[in-house]
Structure 1
Amino acid sequence: MDATHLPKSWNVDQIVEDLDQQGFTIIDNAYPQDYVLALAEECTSNLNHFRDAAIQSGVVSKIRSDHILWISDELEIAQHHIEILKEISQLLNRNFYLGIKEVEAHFACYNAGEYYALHRDNPQGKNGRIISTVYYLHEDWQDNWGGELHLEDKNGQWHTIPPKPNRIAMFQSDLLHEVIKAKHQRLSITAWLRSGNVLF
């Protein structure tokens, strides 16, 4: 199992076991602090380019109220995170035969009062999303600031995952989940490991 390009802090065996048993996993202290700070700066310096988030087919809906910026080649620091996700995709393909071929990602900003109601990232298997990931890149987070990921695992058990800085939450895209209303600005990169097949 070749994981030489993944950060040393990532427990690859635990990631695979968690996804197999629960359908989700948590990776803490994902990146070195200098990269975390550079990524946060790239995000915040582009906040004026964010737009209202939409659901499937580009429809802006009351189901969510966050703001996003799709990550392009010009966002060079964020591209490193995308490359790491491509590496983990190869690992997951070898372990679970998922057929992941690409990664799509955007910065996400939840300002105070913003949320994302219960949903699945791949309803009825129509958009090719297989694994969802959320990387929290704000510098600080207090327990009473909300913004938690509320997730139902593959066994029907619910989990509340605080948006701890430098944490990645990774889960099956067909699992039901929501983002609890934030009380403070919450910054992240949301990314999907995809098959590349989109059916409408």
Structure 2
Amino acid sequence: MQTHSLPPSWNLAQIFNDLDQSGYALIDDAYPQDYVQALVAECTAHLNEFRNAAIQNGVVSQIRSDHILWLDSSLPVAEQHTQTLMALAEQLNRAFFLGIKEVEAHFACYNAGEFYALHRDNPQGKNGRMISCVFYLHEQWQADWGGELRLQDKQGEWQIIAPQPNRMTLFQSDLLHEVLLSKQQRLSITAWLRSDPQLW
């Protein structure tokens, strides 16, 4: 596993404690602004390539209406984020013995009126997703624009997490969660730290 560095502002002790106690953690002001701006530019430049995430193998899902673009080496700015998550995975493996081997990730766009209903990213341990990660890319967000992540933590309490710009949310992939209806275009990178290879 190749070694990459983590941003010095990330408080790993706090992140690990929050994940251990509640099953989720927040990292605000996750990246320097120049990198965030480059990431937003790369995302918006490719919006016409996003596909309807609700359509898989010709079947339309009723629980989501967002649009996605999987990340690969043709998106070099976003690939840096994936590499940072791999560095985080190395630390998570040391702390929690999760056996994470790779990161899968995509850009996500929720246009006005779009949502993702209640679900789990790894229901009943049926796949290798261990930790889910959402990083918010839009350059501004107001409280009445919706688009929040609603998450049931390890204690069974419901948490409402606002999609603040440059915020990263980490949570156990088996936790129940949803994306509430967005009233403005909401941009993010959704990623999963996996214990098994995934091809898409």
TM-score, normalized by the shorter chain, greater than 0.5: yes
Is the aligned partner of 1:23 residue 2:23? yes
- State the AA in 1 paired with 2:35: Y
Q: Distance in 2 between matches of 1:51 and 1:85?
A: 24
Q: Which runs of 5+ in 1 are unaligned?
A: none
Contact 1:52 1:60 in 2 (8 A): no
Q: Distance in 1 between matches of 2:15 and 2:56?
A: 29
Aligned with 1:42: secondary structure? helix
Q: What does residue 52 of structure 2 align with?
A: 52
Q: Distance in 1 between matches of 2:81 and 2:134?
A: 11
Q: What does residue 41 of structure 1 align with?
A: 41
Q: What does residue 196 of structure 2 align with?
A: 196
Aligned Cα root-mean-square deviation (Å): 1.6
TM-score, normalised to structure 1's length? 0.94
Contact 2:4 2:84 in 1 (8 A): no
Q: Distance in 2 between matches of 1:157 and 1:189?
A: 25
Q: What does residue 87 of structure 1 align with?
A: 87
Count matched residues. 196
- State the AA in 1 paired with 2:162: P
1:60 shift after superposition:
3.1
Task: Return closer, same or farther for 1:175/1:57 CA change in 2, 3 Å cut-off.
Answer: farther
1:72 shift after superposition:
1.0
TM-score, normalised to structure 2's length? 0.94
Contact 2:121 2:173 in 1 (8 A): yes
Q: Deviations over 1:85-140 (max 9, x none)?
A: 00000000000000000000000000000000000001121121000000001000
Percent sequence identity over matched residues?
Answer: 66
Contact 2:102 2:197 in 1 (8 A): no
Contact 2:4 2:87 in 1 (8 A): no
Q: Deviations over 1:137-196 (max 9, x none)?
A: 100000000000000001101100000000000000000000000000000000000011
Q: What does residue 73 of structure 2 align with?
A: 73
Range with greater deviation from structure 2 (49-58 or 94-103): 49-58
Is the aligned partner of 1:120 residue 2:113? no
Q: Distance in 2 between matches of 1:16 and 1:56?
A: 34
Q: What does residue 61 of structure 2 align with?
A: 61
